[in-house]
Amino acid sequence: MSAQFGSLDPNRLTVEQAARVLSTSGRKLVTVEMLQRDVEAGGPTNADGTINLIHFAAWIVKEMASDA
């Protein structure tokens, strides 16, 4: 991760950290509320409630493909 994110672990981010990383690295604003809705809809989380960005991204792609 870049210096702006410090020593964040992409395998274990809080919803707030994930929203910040995704908003900064993408073209769209990603809010905590958006991610929380995804989690409530079945988005994967670690046992401690944190988000693994790779697993979460794979889930989003799968959801997008099933909506097509």
Determine the 3-state secondary structure of 34 from DSSP. Answer: helix
pLDDT band of residue 4 (cuts 50, 70, 90) is: low
Q: Residues 16-38: pLDDT tens digits?
A: 999 999 999 888 999 999 999 99
Q: What is the DSSP string of 2-39?
A: -GGGTT--TTSB-HHHHHHHHHHHSSS---HHHHHHHH
Residue 2 has pLDDT above 80, yes or no: no
Q: Where are the domains positioned within the chain?
A: 3-67
